[in-house]
Amino acid sequence: MTQYKIPYLNLQHVNSPLQAAYQTAIVKVFQNSNYINGVYCADFEKAYADYTGTAYCSGLSNGLDALILSLKTLGVGVGDEVIVPAHTYIATWLAVTHVGATIVPVDCDPATYNIDTTLIEEKITPRTKCIIPVHLYGQPCNMDAIMAIANKHNLYVAEDNAQAHGATFKEQKTGSFGHINATSFYPGKNLGAIGDAGAITTNSADLYDKVTRLKNYGSSVKYQHTMLGGNNRLDELQAAFLNLKLPLLDGYNVERNRLAAIYNTQLAGVGDIVLPHTTLGATHVYHIYIIRSGRRNQLQEYLAANSVETLIHYPTAAYNQAAYAHLGIGEDTYPNAALVADTCLSLPVYPGLSDGDMEYIINIIKGFFT
């Protein structure tokens, strides 16, 4: 494995200062002996609901399960259509497939890379049941437009907030607009666990109750199973770790914004670079700092040769993945999604990246274009 001078992500910066606190939490969970659905899960669910400004949070095993359970809870299944962005992480699409519903992709906005809200209505049919907006890269979607369309056509909205913990649209937190909202606490996320974890948030007591039974074998009272559930519970240890990290999330996001502002200033007008654009009324949390360039592959190679690791989110749009070949969607069906896949490059952006690291990365990029 290549050792980079500057890796794309180094989680030690946020996790090392918490090591002693994590160890104390491990001992507490261990001594408590209540390893499943215990007090740490309950505490985190309460804290995360409060943080997002929602009435309820149900901790879950990971983000994909959170999306699947969101759709199941809304009663989305075989025969229903779900509108999703053509450009997203594949989990958004897989959730729809796993509940047996039909994926209806909508191309992305070439400026924000989120679902193009002006193209949603033409995709609505009598079978449409739900829209899944994804706040990709930490950038909120235009939730005014999405909620207006959903209300007009009597559709559910299930936000995919895996990449945007702490982001806001018109001062309201993402993950609080939809009827139900799914998120992931995968370690590299803005709020990341030390393993797999996820959650849903909602203002509906009914939806909360359904998810909470679905994730626990369809049961809220021991050995009474009122529905066909599974096991998708949040681990007590991960909840304890997340409890320690949640109060630090806003600080992490401030630092991500500071780093993004440095890139924005220093890379403006460099070569053919297209910088990120923030939705009007939104605060971005830069889960991923995306630039675009027609020379993306060469730029990535040049950065790697100079020991800077970058990633591509995502090199192949979901509809072009082999897993979705059976849908028979032509390669050029979603031109903006294809353009982003072909030209995007994710630069390192995480708390702990030093000003010296930033200067180094920026100079390499400037050097490439001169």
**Residue 120: which of 140, 144, 89 has the closest Cα?**
144
Among 48, 186, 334, 350, binds ligand PLP (CB under 6 A): 186
C-alpha 49 chain-centroid distance: 17
Residue 11 to residue 191: CA distance in whole angstroms: 11
- Cα Rg of the chain (Å, integer): 21
Lookup: tokens for 345: 């490059």
In angstroms, what is the minimal distance from the CB of 320 to ligand PLP? Answer: 17
**Which listed residue (73, 184, 232, 283) binds ligand PLP by CB under 6 A?**
184
- Secondary structure (3-state) at 115: strand
- Residue 58 β-bridge partners: 200
Exposed, middle or buried, 2 (CB in 10 Å: 0-12/13-18/19+)? exposed
User: Measured from the CB atom, is 198 or 229 closer to ligand PLP?
Assistant: 198
By CB atoms closer than 10 A (0-12, 13-18, 19+), residue 323 is exposed
273 versus 309: smaller Cβ distance to ligand PLP? 309
Applying CB under 6 A, the span of 60-68, 79-87, 240-248, 362-370 interacting with ligand PLP comes to 60-68
Only one residue has tokens 């992931």, namely 184
Pick the binder of ligand PLP from 85, 140, 198, 351 (CB under 6 A).
Answer: 198
Distance between CA atoms of residues 143 and 153, nearest Å: 15
By CB under 6 A, residue 159 contacts ligand PLP: no
CB of 287 to ligand PLP, least distance (A): 8
317 binds ligand PLP (CB under 6 A): no
64 binds ligand PLP (CB under 6 A): yes
Nearest CA among 172, 186, 148 for reference residue 287: 186
Q: Count of residues for the chain? A: 370
Q: Please report how close the Cβ of residue 318 comes to ligand PLP at its closest, in angstroms.
A: 11
Residue with the shortest CB distance to ligand PLP: 63
| Contacts (CB under 6 A) with ligand PLP, residues 121-150 | 134
202 contacts ligand PLP (rule: CB under 6 A): no
User: Minimum CB separation from ligand PLP for residue 348, in Å?
Assistant: 17
Residue 275 CB neighbours (<10 A): 16
Tell me the window of 23-31, 39-47, 83-91, 253-261 that interacts with ligand PLP (CB under 6 A). Answer: 83-91
Q: How far is the CB of 135 from ligand PLP (least distance, A)?
A: 8
Q: Which is nearer to ligand PLP, 91 or 299 (CB)?
A: 91
Site string for ligand PLP, 265-294 (x = CB under 6 A): ------------------------------
Rounded CA gap, 187 and 235, in Å?
Answer: 14
Token pair 């830069």: residue: 286
Torsion of CA 215, 221, 227, 229, to 10 degrees: 20
Nearer of residues 134 and 338 to ligand PLP, judged by Cβ: 134
Residues that bind ligand PLP (CB under 6 A): 62-64, 88-89, 91-92, 134, 160, 162-163, 184, 186, 196, 198
